[in-house]
Amino acid sequence: MLRINDTRTGEPALAAPARRAPTRVEAHAPGSGITALRVLLVADLLVRALELDGTPAWAVLTGAEEPDRLREDAEALGIRPFEDGAAFGSGPGTGQSVRVVRQGTAAPDGTTIAVASVHPAEPDLADPDAVRLALLERHHHARVELDATALEEARDTLARWRRAVADWARQPSRPVPGDVRDRLRAAWEDDLDAPGVLRVLRRVETDPDLPDGARFEICAYADRFLGLHLTRDLGAPA
């Protein structure tokens, strides 16, 4: 079951206690800087984790001061569209609401995820997938230094993984081993632990006992949560 740490109480809370109703995921993201984008990114991870758990999710955006720019930057980072929360209200049939806010924001009523800030406020977004990976390398409760070194390391990692995934895809497919699937799910179901998911992928990359076909399927499965387009280079010349 997907659990998140509720900022209001400091205790774990279920993200979807009402299994038959959708969870409303509200991203409260004032401003247009990278921290606002990180709020949307964490909300996007929550939506992805809920969907992988079989729970429908309804994602809305509130509090944006420059919503058009924020939506444009969010799309570049692979964040799926959020509806206008002010226009749609609470929504019919919603069984649970989770609010994703910037750390330091007054905690609203209801389950809340606080997202730490990112420095600098306006980083280079020329390679949005590298930005997304650099943000995922740190837990959302931890501050991120999105400097040139972090972005270069993220670019190198993405290039290496995408080449490897394209190579592994040429081998006979194998199912995702149950223990690896369990480790991936345990990570993202524990307060959206994206760094934990990335650690599993790094072990998969070097595990001599895994067939390449299984490595491919593992990466494709994990990417449903990460959203890093790891299969982008399939079919490219070797």
pLDDT, tens only, 140-198: 999 999 999 999 999 999 999 999 999 999 999 999 999 999 999 999 999 999 999 99
pTM reported for the whole predicted model: 0.94
pLDDT (0 to 100) of residue 20:
66
pLDDT (0 to 100) of residue 211:
97
Q: Cis (ω within 30 of 0) for the bond into 12?
A: no
pLDDT band at 86, cuts 50/70/90?
Answer: low
Which positions ≥6 away from 182 have C-beta within 8 Å? none
Q: Residue 89 half-sphere exposure, CB side, CA atoms within 13 Å? A: 3
pLDDT (0 to 100) of residue 238:
61
Higher-pLDDT residue of 236 and 155 is 155
Report the distance separating Cα 99 and Cα 84, nearest Å: 14
Which positions ≥6 away from 131 have C-beta within 8 Å? 34, 77, 123, 124, 125, 146, 151, 154
Query: Among 3, 33, 32, which Cα is nearest to 15's?
Result: 3
Domains and CATH numbers, the chain: 3-115 (no CATH), 152-226 (1.20.120)
Q: Provide the phi-psi class of 66: left if phi over 0, else alpha when psi is between -120 and 50, else beta.
A: beta
Query: Among 77, 85, 97, which Cα is nearest to 33's?
Result: 77
Question: For a pLDDT cut of 90, what percent of the chain falls above it?
Answer: 74
Backbone angles phi, psi at 34, to 5 degrees: -70, -30
Q: Specify the amino acid at residue 24.
A: R
Number of Cβ within a 10 Å radius of residue 131: 27
Report the distance separating Cα 83 and Cα 58, nearest Å: 8
Report the distance separating Cα 199 and Cα 115, nearest Å: 21
Report the distance separating Cα 44 and Cα 38, nearest Å: 9
Structure tokens at 100: 């994703």
Instruction: Please give the DSSP secondary-structure letter assigned to residue 232.
Output: T
pLDDT band at 19, cuts 50/70/90?
Answer: low
pLDDT at 10 over 70: yes
pLDDT (0 to 100) of residue 34:
93
pLDDT band at 90, cuts 50/70/90?
Answer: low
The CA-based dihedral angle spanning residues 233, 234, 237, 238, taken in that order and rounded to the nearest 10 degrees: 90
* Mean pLDDT score of the chain: 91
Q: To which H or E segment does residue 68 belong?
A: helix 67-76
pLDDT, tens only, 193-222: 999 999 999 999 999 999 999 999 999 999
pLDDT (0 to 100) of residue 91:
52
pLDDT at 120 over 60: yes
pLDDT, tens only, 21-76: 789 999 999 877 899 999 999 999 999 999 999 999 999 999 888 888 899 999 99
pLDDT, tens only, 122-136: 878 899 999 999 999
Query: Among 166, 172, 135, which Cα is nearest to 153's?
Result: 135
